[in-house]
Amino acid sequence: MSLAESPNREPLTLDSLAQTFVDFVWGPPLVVLLLGGGLFFLFYSRALPYRHFGHAIGLMLGRHDTPEEPGELSHAQALAAALSGTMGLGNIAGVALAIVAGGPGAVFWMWISALVGVATKFFTCSLGIMYRGEDSLGRLQGGPQYIIREALPRPFYPLAVLFSVAGLIGTLPMFQANQLTALIGDTVFAGAMPPWAGPLIGCAVAVVVAGVIFGGLPRVAAVAVTALPSMVAVYMLMTLYVILRHLPEVPAILISIVTEAFDPRAVGGGFLGVMLIGVSRGAFSNEAGVGTEVMAHGAARTNEPIREGLIAMLGPVIDTLIVCTCTAIVILLTDAWCNPGDLSGITLTTNAFVAEMGPIGLLPLSFVALVLSTTTMFTGWYYGAKCFGFLVGAQWQHHFRWFFIAAVIFGASVSIDVVFNLISGSYGLMAIPTMVSTLILAPKVMAAARDYFRRHPY
């Protein structure tokens, strides 16, 4: 009898291997690295990023843009491009997965990951401008792989390779395509989607994605700047409608989020289990410390690293503290998570909104999901192409478009658990080189910050 057939062991499947992979990567060491690193940045900077939110908002509004300086994007476009990568269906489907796995307490740890993520993004994205490097075609690039190559001794170079390899997998569009297909199935086929529909929807989405990514990063940023503000407004209005219907229940929901975060009997494995679930889903949502956002902000038109760090730190606030909280409150207020059955991801969130708004709720939710999924896929192509170009040469990275488009179709047809665990595990691997290099180079950021605020006393 083979090992796979042994009665004492579960048979090895793609699902079980992917689950083992993500459990190993997102263990306590990585959580300590992300949360502990974020807390270190917070105290080491004496909360400097948090004290300059007003200036960061002014930068976002374009008050200090420098079109003559090197780079591809304005500050606002860089933030929009980064947000289009972070504000994906993880904000809708990922929150649902977190609550089902860890209960209300998981939301608290998502909040904590976002709060310390403000400091983390300030440091990582400041370094993205400080240590931009040239690719094999002589074009200026930013990202953890270039930070490691340009700023650290040669023995650290394998970390740059690790980031790029993990980035090729972690930025693939399979999760977004999978969940968008599930939502279309719920909307068009009333939850009974025929087998042929998934690949067909995947092909249609792939055509849309191709139309944008073949225009390069400026077109990606232009689409994001136009679409994201309206998406956030629609989603917040939908959430406000549900909250107003359940206003007396909101305080109890908020209390349960906090108390169950520290409950040793909480669903999801008690205190430690809930914390691991919340932090991993929070990092998947806002990407603080993961490093993908550094690649977007590294393309900003500026020679002032601190300005880009200040812009970047707004990401976790918009992404996790606002959008993810909207999803969590709706799910918890409607008790959709208590008896999920076979539902998971976006289907669970869809049922929560439909329970409150009726079938008409599918229309605005479909708009939100379409914007989130497609803009994330657009930016994911840019991230993956940069990782591919770093590994094999920028002269070859245009070929990555075809692989990326094929991944959209593949993602529309496979199991959500396999897809989510593979992507989430790869995100965790990306965080290792990003956080290690940032911790080493943190004094460089603080020196630049002191110089910046001495020259610009706001």
What is the number of other CB atoms lying within 10 angstroms of the CB of residue 58? 15
HEC secondary structure over the chain: CCHHHCCCCCCCCHHHHHHHHHHHHCCHHHHHHHHHHHHHHHHHCCCCHHHHHHHHHHHHCCCCCCCCCCCCECHHHHHHHHHHHHCCHHHCHHHHHHHHHHCCHHHHHHHHHHHHHHHHHHHHHHHHHHCCEECCCCCEECCHHHHHHHHCCHHHHHHHHHHHHHHHHHCCCHHHHHHHHHHHHHHHCCCCCCCCHHHHHHHHHHHHHHHHHCCHHHHHHHHHHHHHHHHHHHHHHHHHHHHHHCHHHHHHHHHHHHHHCCCCCCCCCHHHHHHHHHHHHHHHHHCCCCCHHHHHHCCECCCCHHHHHHHHCHHHHHHHHHHHHHHHHHHHHCCCCCCCCCCCCHHHHHHHHHHHHCHHHHHHHHHHHHHHHHHHHHHHHHHHHHHHHHHHCHHHHHHHHHHHHHHHHHHCCCCHHHHHHHHHHHHHHHHHHHHHHHHHHHHHHHHHHHHHHHHCCC
> How high is the pLDDT of residue 221?
64
Q: Do the Cβ atoms of 450 and 190 come closer than 8 Å?
A: no
Q: Which of 303, 325, 263 is nearest to 113 (CA)?
A: 325
- Distance from C-alpha of 378 to C-alpha of 296, rounded to nearest angstrom: 12
**pTM of the entire predicted model:** 0.81
- Rounded to 5 degrees, φ, ψ at 47 are 60, 30
- Distance from C-alpha of 378 to C-alpha of 223, rounded to nearest angstrom: 9
- For residue 10 the two structure tokens come to 């579960």
> How high is the pLDDT of residue 6?
44
> How high is the pLDDT of residue 360?
82
- Distance from C-alpha of 52 to C-alpha of 60, rounded to nearest angstrom: 13
> How high is the pLDDT of residue 187?
67
Strand partners, 300: 73
CA 202 to chain centre: 21
> How high is the pLDDT of residue 4?
44
Q: Do the Cβ atoms of 61 and 255 come closer than 8 Å?
A: no
> How high is the pLDDT of residue 2?
41
Tally of CA atoms within 13 A in the half-sphere of 327 that contains its CB: 35
> How high is the pLDDT of residue 5?
45
**Each residue's pLDDT tens digit in the chain (458 positions)?**
344 444 455 566 767 777 788 888 877 888 889 888 999 999 999 989 898 888 888 777 766 656 655 555 665 666 666 665 566 656 776 777 778 777 888 888 888 888 888 999 999 999 999 999 888 888 888 899 999 999 999 999 999 999 999 998 888 888 777 777 777 766 666 656 677 776 787 788 888 777 777 766 666 666 666 777 777 788 888 888 888 888 888 888 889 888 888 876 655 556 667 777 777 777 767 778 888 888 888 777 778 899 889 888 888 888 788 888 888 888 888 876 666 555 556 677 777 888 888 888 777 877 777 777 777 787 788 888 889 999 998 888 888 888 888 888 877 776 666 777 888 888 889 999 999 999 999 999 999 999 988 887 66
- β pairing state of 133-134 and 140-141: antiparallel
- Distance from C-alpha of 405 to C-alpha of 177, rounded to nearest angstrom: 10
Question: Architecture of 33-450 per CATH?
Answer: Up-down Bundle (1.20)
| Residue 207 CB contacts under 8 Å (≥ 6 apart), including other chains | none
Q: How far, CA to CA in Å, does 443 sit from each of 123, 376, 431?
A: 10, 32, 20
- How many residues appear in the chain? 458
Helices 416-455, 157-170: inter-axial angle, 10-degree rounding: 130
Q: Do the Cβ atoms of 272 and 28 come closer than 8 Å?
A: yes
Q: Which of 261, 277, 208 is nearest to 420 (CA)?
A: 277
377, amino acid identity: M
> How high is the pLDDT of residue 164?
94
- Rounded to 5 degrees, φ, ψ at 46 are 55, 45
Handedness of CA 378, 384, 387, 393 (dihedral sign): negative
- Distance from C-alpha of 457 to C-alpha of 353, rounded to nearest angstrom: 47
Please report, in angstroms and rounded to a whole number, the separation of the first and last CA atoms in the chain: 73
- Rounded to 5 degrees, φ, ψ at 215 are -90, -5
Tally of CA atoms within 13 A in the half-sphere of 292 that contains its CB: 36
- Rounded to 5 degrees, φ, ψ at 426 are -65, -35
